[in-house]
Amino acid sequence: MDLERHDFQLDDLVEKIKQNDNRLIALQVPEGLKMQALEMMDEIETETSAKVVLAADPCYGACDLVHDKMKMMGVELVAHMGHSQMNIDSGMPTEFIDVKYDGDPELNTVLPILNKHLAMAKDRMANQQSVGELTEAEAQEKFIDAVGRMAPLTNTKLGLVGSIQHLHLLPEFHDRLEQAGFDVTIPVGGARLSFPGQVLGCNYSGDDESIGHYLFLGSGDFHPIGLVLHTGKPLAMLDPYSGAAEEMSFERIERILRQRFGLIMSSQDCQSFGILIGEKPGQMRRTLALRMKRMLEKHGKKGYLLALEHIGPDLIDFYPVDAFVNTACPRIAIDDAVRYRKPLITPFELEVALGEKQWETGYMFDEIP
Ligand code: SF4
């Protein structure tokens, strides 16, 4: 990743600090940009009379805002970099700072994948017509989408999405893709998302039945895995850092689903569960955790509520329970399950294990709305 090509928009922050006459501010920087944090602190301290303290704990999203601990330290303002505002209140005045990357990848490299996916979406539309003539079992056999749901499509539009530092590319890519013959939409999601086309690892709420396939502008497979698990639709990826194009293969998604099913099976006979509640402001799902506890009790099982700021194997594996249900960041269960000695499952997966929901009607991604 070429850090020099990231644009940190510190001017508004500097203005705000001067206006407020802040004396102590906290800077919160995502993991990938921490190497540049000291440079940013120097710039802010040179331009203003504030001192800057780096919130140096890991930070993976705007769900993880600096909160009241920093208030006790005397911090007056939090500068949170590289993520956008969510529908949460951390209790601290927070200024969100955009980080943009100026890479502009070639569209041609991804067009063959997009054409293949458009054909798959058209097939799925066509298959739908025959579903009415099939028995439910036959329809399930056809595995209407990649996660086994029979979700009807009304169109085969291309959904154009990206991670936050590349969202400024979307309008230009929308036009280029339309010129290349695609019917393109930039989906608008719910309150957890700030911008059209934005996706988070825990929220793909812009998806709708008119979208037949996706193009993701960004790097890595974190967002793509979640997007396919959530939508069940074909996804092409174009990386603005490297210019490389690839697809999120359905084989990969199937492997993940097989792993999830294995964990559900191994949780079925468990008698006691640790129910994880995230203490980070945007991960705290108390109501869901309590619902899981009541559901376990209804099935004659035991659920212990465990609240944590950070979740990791060393912090939970030793509790004498048979399995864990995670209500904090959904990706802890999906992406990190192999690091834990005991089964770590999502709330939907617990419902399947207890027979409250059916695996056969398709996988439900654990979304935070
Ligand atoms: S995926 Fe997890 S870390 Fe990322 S925003 Fe959502 S809850 Fe936070």
Ligand 1: which residue has its CA nearest to atom 7? 329
Pocket flag, ligand 1, residue 200 (CB < 6 Å): yes
**pLDDT tens by residue, 330-343:** 999 999 999 999 99
CB burial of 145-182 (b: ≥16 within 10 Å; e: otherwise) equals: bbbbbbbebeebbbbbbbbbbbbebbeebbeebeeeeb
The separation between CA 158 and the C-alpha centre of its own chain, rounded to angstroms, equals: 20
- As a whole number, mean pLDDT of residues 203-218 equals 97
Pocket flag, ligand 1, residue 86 (CB < 6 Å): no
Q: Which of 242, 112, 232 is nearest to 166 (CA)?
A: 242
Average pLDDT across the chain, whole number = 92
**pLDDT tens by residue, 248-260:** 999 999 999 999 9
Give the start-end residues of each E strand in 64-123. Answer: 77-81, 94-97, 99-101
Confidence of residue 131 (pLDDT cuts 50, 70, 90): low
For residues 200 and 192, the answer to whether their CB atoms sit within 8 Å is yes
Ligand 1 centre and the CA of 188: distance in Å? 18
Q: CA 36, CA 21: separation in Å to the nearest integer?
A: 25
Neighbours of 134 (CB within 10 A): 13
pLDDT at 33: 85
- As a whole number, mean pLDDT of residues 55-72 equals 88
Decide: helix, strand or coil at residue 281: coil
Q: What is the DSSP string of 304-327?
A: EEEEESS--HHHHTTSS-SEEEE-
Question: What proportion of the chain, given as a percentage, has pLDDT over 70?
Answer: 94
| Domains of the chain: residue spans and CATH | 3-101 (3.40.50.11840), 108-248 (3.40.50.11850), 258-361 (3.40.50.11860)
**pLDDT tens by residue, 271-329:** 999 999 999 999 999 999 999 999 999 999 999 999 999 999 999 999 999 999 999 99
Pairing status of strand 24-28 against strand 51-54: parallel
Pocket flag, ligand 1, residue 329 (CB < 6 Å): yes
Confidence of residue 208 (pLDDT cuts 50, 70, 90): very high
Ligand 1 centre and the CA of 173: distance in Å? 26
Give the start-end residues of each E strand in the chain. Answer: 6-8, 24-28, 51-54, 77-81, 94-97, 99-101, 157-162, 184-185, 211-217, 235-238, 245-247, 272-278, 302-308, 323-326, 344-345
Residue 215: C-alpha distances to residues 20, 150, 246 (Å):
42, 22, 10
Pocket flag, ligand 1, residue 166 (CB < 6 Å): no
pLDDT at 137: 64
Residue 353: C-alpha distances to residues 256, 271, 313, 357 (Å):
17, 12, 22, 8
Ligand 1 centre and the CA of 60: distance in Å? 6
- As a whole number, mean pLDDT of residues 214-220 equals 96
Ligand 1: which residue has its CA nearest to atom 2? 329
For residues 23 and 48, the answer to whether their CB atoms sit within 8 Å is no
99 pLDDT exceeds 90? no
Ligand 1 centre and the CA of 201: distance in Å? 6
Q: Which of ligand 1's atoms lies nearest the C-alpha of 278?
A: 7
Q: Which of 287, 285, 267 is nearest to 340 (CA)?
A: 267
Q: Which of 205, 308, 331 to mutate to test the pocket of ligand 1 (most atoms within 8 A of CB)?
A: 331
